[in-house]
Amino acid sequence: MSIFRCRECGRINRIAANSSESRTPHCGHCKADLDTSGAPQDVNAKALRKAIANSPVPILLDIWAPWCGPCRMVAPVLEEVGKERASDLMILKLNSDENQQMSGSLKVSGIPTMIVFKGGKESDRQSGAMNKSGLDSWLSSRV
Ligand SMILES: [Zn+2]
């Protein structure tokens, strides 16, 4: 069983891992094509809360802003990690400029900040840019 979040409506979809269908799976709620690549998805505060409450797999949240240089360095690393862990880790991105209230309630003091949520709760966080091996080793003991 693999877990994929619908980009359009945010619904968490469960797709059978042994599905032999070659066509793109669709969201069970809104029928949009599901992105099964594992690429990070942008969320707002509402979508983030919903994902944290509903995801059966760990979430890695990247809190970033467009003006932040280290955030831009982390972006391709997250793309890569997301694709490698497509079905068992959900990577979400929250723009802290557009979601200041949510960033505040998450007590984000600097960006980039990465937070792992498991079972609806924060399990760990790390501030500052990480390269691929740094992120892999940080995640390996957490998700
Ligand atoms: Zn949908």
Separation of 23 CA from ligand 1 center, angstroms?
Answer: 17
Provide the residue ranges of all domains of the chain, joining segments of one domain with +.
37-140
Largest interatomic CA distance in the chain:
46
- pLDDT of 133 reads 97
- pLDDT of 18 reads 64
Label the pairing between strands 59-64 and 90-95: parallel
pLDDT beneath 50, residues of the chain: none
Q: Do residues 103 and 53 touch, judged by C-beta distance below 8 A? A: no
In percent, how much of the chain has pLDDT > 70? 96
- pLDDT of 87 reads 83
Which sequence positions are flagged as catalytic? Answer: 68, 71
Determine the topology of domain 37-140 in CATH.
Glutaredoxin (3.40.30)
Separation of 26 CA from ligand 1 center, angstroms?
Answer: 8
